[in-house]
Amino acid sequence: MSLALIAALPFLGALLPGLMIRAGKNACAAVTGSVTALALLLLGLNAPAVLRGEVVQTRIEWIPSLGLNANFFLDGLGLLFAGLILGIGLLIILYARFYLSKSDPMGQFYTYLMLFQGAMVGIVLSDNILLLLIFWELTSLSSFLLIGYWKHLPEGRQGARMALTVTGAGGLAMIAGMMILGNIVGSYDLSVILQNKELIQASDWYLPALILILLGCFTKSAQFPFHFWLPHAMAAPTPVSAYLHSATMVKAGLFLMARMWPVLAGTPEWFYIVATAGLVTMVMAAKIALFKDDLKALLAFSTVSHLGLITMLLGFGTVEAATVAVFHIINHATFKAALFMSAGIVDHEAHTRDLKRLGGLRTLMPITFTIATVAALSMAGIPPLNGFLSKELMLEEAYHTAWGPNPWVMGLLATIGALFSVAYSFRFIAHTFLGPVRDDYPHKPHDPGFGMWAAPAFLAVLVIVIGLMPMTASAWLVNAAASAVTGEVVTAKITHWHGLYAPALWMSVAAVGGGLMLLGGHKRLMALWNATPRPEAKAIFDAIVEPFAALSRRVTDAMHDGAMTRYVAIATLAIVAAAYYGFRTGTHAAGTRELMPVSIVPAMGWLAMVVATVAIMVFHRNRLFTLVLVGILGLMIAGTFAYFSAPDLALTQISVEVAAVMLMLLALNFLPKQTPVESSAPRRAWDLAVAGIAGIGVAALSYALMTRNFAYDSIAAYHIANAKPGGGGTNIVNVILVDFRGYDTFGEIIVLGIAALVIYALTEALLRGGPANDRLLAWKPDQKRAGDRHPMMLVVATRLILPVALMVGVFIFLRGHNLPGGGFIAGLVVSIALIMQYMASGFAWTQRRQRFDYHAIIAAGVLIAAATGIGSWLAGVPFMTTNFAYITLWPLETFEVATAAIFDLGVFLTVLGAVMLTLASLSRIAIRTGETVNTQPFDIDPSEGRTLDDLDAKGAR
């Protein structure tokens, strides 16, 4: 459980920042950080076992039929990466707290960050490649959100899009690769796959799988030729760059190569693809980094270069090289994250990160200078820092590796890469901090507060500690991780001095010397660089993507030209065509079911329905008349339900009909009363043809359905048999609603509540100041008002009806479990009784006597229903298991008490609240148009001497 919890914690934590931001930025950061710290702690608890060489596992079956299991395992490699992700994540959370400005939405930032963190932890702990792929895609998505965090910056949006396109496309390739791999082995569990090296490498599908998986890794880890997205992703806030682009996301590709190393590595294909791509990336990116003036761009290309270095080492396919790769992953994470954060501090304080405008910050920002220098020297590979140790080992490995028949090119190019690395590292220090103090910084720089430099300082200390005592500080972790990568027991020997005759020493010396020389001649080289034409990755990328974007835009525009009538016609014809095809090609039995004889009453109902429907089509321009016809139709539908043995439906239909027609009448009050003639006769004929085809289809399908028996046994029998013994009620429909399918009903009342709230929100938006509100204020009714808007007869009658109607509601509610009725119908009946009061005496008068907020009624309904469901937990049974008992209270007969009734009460309240809120919203619009508000229940009251003439005198008519 613990491993799944580690992966789940960041996701759960992602919910908190949005809430906690209301308590202030410190609280928000503290809560976010503590979630990460907790996950780190859980990881730490598992560490001793892993370091002993055990593999910790958590297995949860998810969808076993697909081979998809939520299996997690933790070995040395997972421990290393999870530690990096959570540890550096913690530092980033601290750093971001001080980095983000007041105007940046911090809660959002932390939410994205936690999502990303969870996805990364998920990748490194997954023991199922399908699960891993899900997390992999999640990192692409969450990093898209993080890179585009500054939505107002076009670079941010474009960079995010580019990153998503490249890594997303790679991810798709990888899915295919992983599927092939899973197919070869016959299992999607990593622990099984990793045992089957021979099987995989002997398969014909090895090469396709390798290439597809490597596409995923290379895009993610920004390897040549997919390296171009990373520098563009630097438009992200610096904490994101430090986290995603130094320590975590870009290392996901490396992680996967390391993870798959035991089964994929060791073949010539692996060597030539991986080692070559890594080598090319390392040298090329290091060269570009030297010529970047933007601090973050310099670091971005340097990251690409170092990722190339690690890729190359993994590509060598030897245990020693893989060990060095693991060691360099640790070192690179420490110094590069520190460098990014330092660059962020410089940017934050000096308001620029352009090297041409910087220099001389050494005395102004001594703390930042110290941190950045330590980290940059490590990046350059200067002894005794940790970067030196892994670089020496790397050069040694490169020296001993031949590329094809050529024994020295690998070593030479590796040295050149290291040489560039020295040059840009020194340039980073020299051009930012050294040199004379300038007086034209955009902002007077000084060291930031402790909170901001604490995180990079901690990393710089690590750089030194690992550098000085590599065996004590890091060898245990390197051994554990490298053993996990290679599947052999690795005991790394990391020393500063390999002897005078070690080739790496002289390669290092050459690199440092050459690097310093390059820096010396930087100005002239820069001029040369600027004069040479070179391909611009963004332009190429845009040129490739643009045709696709244009194509999809053309298709979209052609299909969606803004005319809904067109969409509906297209959709209708498509559906009919698909259904027809399905019917023609599918198999179906002949219609042998006995037909029901026609009797006179239903035939009359049918006639009424046909007449009303045709009349609607002919007279639909007269809107009021249309509503009357709709009322007839509703009544006939209710009759249909009643005739065909569905009393519950008939009751529901008839009460819904009343509410719906009232609603449409209220709306029609504001809408035009006539529909103008707009379509030409051919157009109408065409529309009729489209509608007619669909109608014929529906009629044919209905007839076919009704004349055939069930192809399989209906599950209705189960419900009929168990309604009474299991649900305690004899009204099977109601028992299904509140018991068998109570969960569905619960969802449905929530939907209904949301619909009512949407209507309320729409009304609020209309009534807020704006053109709609102005138009309402200047509203001129287009019809004459009634003389007596609140007739006494109606008022008195509705008052008399109210208690009766309420009692009917209670009656229908109570009997619902056993006879037709229930919460839905009772809610509608009571709503109608209340609406009648509104109609009789006006909205404002009635509203004043209404003591409960409709929102509260909806909420109470949903909460009561939920509480009933949760109540089952107390009894130790699953959610929404109902219970019932029979009670005898003298002098009553024995009656039943069921928890389902409480659930039904929730349904009742939600329906009531939703209907009332909807109609009340419409009434509020009416009041805004200047409808007079009455203070009396009715306008004409002979007992008080108020007459029609008084109304005229007051001008209320």
Partner 1 sequence: MELLLASALGLLTTAGLYLILRKRTFPVIVGLTLISYAVNVFIFISGRLVSGLPPIYNPAAAGYADPLPQALVLTAIVISFGMTAVIVMMALGAFIESGDDKVDMNDKDEAGTTK
Report d(CA 799, CA 566) in Å as an integer.
49
Considering the complex, what minimum distance in angstroms separates the CB of residue 819 from partner 1?
A: 6
Partnered with residue 126 across adjacent β-strands are 72
Which range, of 46-54, 335-343, 425-433, 554-562, touches partner 1 by CB under 8 A? 554-562
Closest by CA position to 229, among listed 213, 239, 244, 243? 244
What residue type is assigned to position 649 of the chain? L
Which x/- pattern over 876-915 shows residues binding partner 1 (rule: CB under 8 A)? -----------------------------------x--xx
Return the number of the residue (58 or 910) whose C-beta is nearest partner 1. 910
Q: What is the DSSP letter of 620?
A: T
CB 140 within 8 A of CB 164: yes
According to the binding rule CB under 8 A, does residue 643 interact with partner 1?
yes
Considering the complex, what minimum distance in angstroms separates the CB of residue 702 from partner 1?
A: 4
Among 372, 918, 920, 923, binds partner 1 (CB under 8 A): 918
Return the number of the residue (465 or 690) whose C-beta is nearest partner 1. 690
Which x/- pattern over 82-101 shows residues binding partner 1 (rule: CB under 8 A)? --------------------
CB 322 within 8 A of CB 314: yes
Which range, of 35-43, 78-86, 333-341, 670-678, touches partner 1 by CB under 8 A? 670-678
Q: What is the DSSP letter of 664?
A: H
Q: Where do we find the tokens 């298991």?
A: 881
According to the binding rule CB under 8 A, does residue 859 interact with partner 1?
no
Report d(CA 219, CA 227) in Å as an integer.
7
Return the number of the residue (461 or 627) whose C-beta is nearest partner 1. 627
Among 656, 835, 840, 912, binds partner 1 (CB under 8 A): 656
The tokens describing 36, both together, are 């990460």
The tokens describing 153, both together, are 């910056």
Segment 798 to 857, residues that bind partner 1, using CB under 8 A: 818-820, 824, 828
Q: What is the DSSP letter of 933?
A: P
Which range, of 305-313, 346-354, 376-384, 772-780, touches partner 1 by CB under 8 A? 772-780
According to the binding rule CB under 8 A, does residue 691 interact with partner 1?
yes
Closest by CA position to 306, among listed 146, 414, 229? 414
Report d(CA 139, CA 207) in Å as an integer.
26
Considering the complex, what minimum distance in angstroms separates the CB of residue 683 from partner 1?
A: 9
Segment 490 to 529, residues that bind partner 1, using CB under 8 A: none
Return the number of the residue (657 or 939) whose C-beta is nearest partner 1. 657
Return the number of the residue (441 or 843) whose C-beta is nearest partner 1. 843
Considering the complex, what minimum distance in angstroms separates the CB of residue 209 from partner 1?
A: 41
The site for partner 1, by CB under 8 A, has a size of 124
Which x/- pattern over 739-758 shows residues binding partner 1 (rule: CB under 8 A)? --x--xx--x--xx--xx-x
Which range, of 47-55, 348-356, 440-448, 666-674, touches partner 1 by CB under 8 A? 666-674
Report d(CA 290, CA 516) in Å as an integer.
12
Partnered with residue 68 across adjacent β-strands are 63
Closest by CA position to 310, among listed 288, 290, 327, 286? 327
CB 127 within 8 A of CB 189: yes
Helix ranges, 560-622 (H) = 564-585, 600-619
Return the number of the residue (319 or 693) whose C-beta is nearest partner 1. 693
Element (H, E) at 61: strand 61-63
Segment 304 to 343, residues that bind partner 1, using CB under 8 A: none
DSSP string computed for 308-361: HHHHHHHHH--HHHHHHHHHHHHHHHHHHHHHHHHHHHHHHHHS--BGGG---H
According to the binding rule CB under 8 A, does residue 644 interact with partner 1?
yes
Among 398, 776, 829, 901, binds partner 1 (CB under 8 A): 776
Segment 401 to 440, residues that bind partner 1, using CB under 8 A: none
Return the number of the residue (283 or 825) whose C-beta is nearest partner 1. 825
CB 398 within 8 A of CB 411: yes
Segment 254 to 293, residues that bind partner 1, using CB under 8 A: none
Considering the complex, what minimum distance in angstroms separates the CB of residue 830 from partner 1?
A: 14
3-class DSSP assignment, residue 472: helix
375 alpha carbon, distance to own chain's centre:
36
Residue partners of 282: CB distance under 8 A and separation at least 6: 305, 306, 308, 309, 312, 413, 414, 417
Among 57, 552, 679, 883, binds partner 1 (CB under 8 A): 679
User: Nearest-5° angle of CA 363, CA 365, CA 370?
Assistant: 90
Return the number of the residue (611 or 793) whose C-beta is nearest partner 1. 611
User: Nearest-5° angle of CA 50, CA 56, CA 61?
Assistant: 165
Segment 601 to 630, residues that bind partner 1, using CB under 8 A: 602-603, 606, 609-610, 613-614, 616-617, 620, 623, 626-627, 630
Segment 921 to 950, residues that bind partner 1, using CB under 8 A: 921-922, 925
Considering the complex, what minimum distance in angstroms separates the CB of residue 77 from partner 1?
A: 48
Segment 568 to 597, residues that bind partner 1, using CB under 8 A: 568-569, 572, 593, 595-597
Return the number of the residue (107 or 647) whose C-beta is nearest partner 1. 647
3-class DSSP assignment, residue 888: strand
Return the number of the residue (355 or 759) whose C-beta is nearest partner 1. 759
Return the number of the residue (118 or 729) whose C-beta is nearest partner 1. 729
Considering the complex, what minimum distance in angstroms separates the CB of residue 410 from partner 1?
A: 53
The tokens describing 308, both together, are 């190339």
Closest by CA position to 222, among listed 173, 266, 181, 280? 280
Considering the complex, what minimum distance in angstroms separates the CB of residue 584 from partner 1?
A: 19
Segment 703 to 722, residues that bind partner 1, using CB under 8 A: 703, 705-707, 709-710, 714-716, 719-720
User: Rounded to the nearest 5°, which phi and psi values hold at 437?
Assistant: -70, 135
Closest by CA position to 452, among listed 184, 98, 791? 98
Return the number of the residue (23 or 603) whose C-beta is nearest partner 1. 603
Which range, of 172-180, 551-559, 578-586, 806-814, touches partner 1 by CB under 8 A? 551-559
According to the binding rule CB under 8 A, does residue 14 interact with partner 1?
no
Segment 441 to 500, residues that bind partner 1, using CB under 8 A: none
Bond before 771 cis per omega within 30 degrees: no
Considering the complex, what minimum distance in angstroms separates the CB of residue 682 from partner 1?
A: 13
3-class DSSP assignment, residue 897: strand
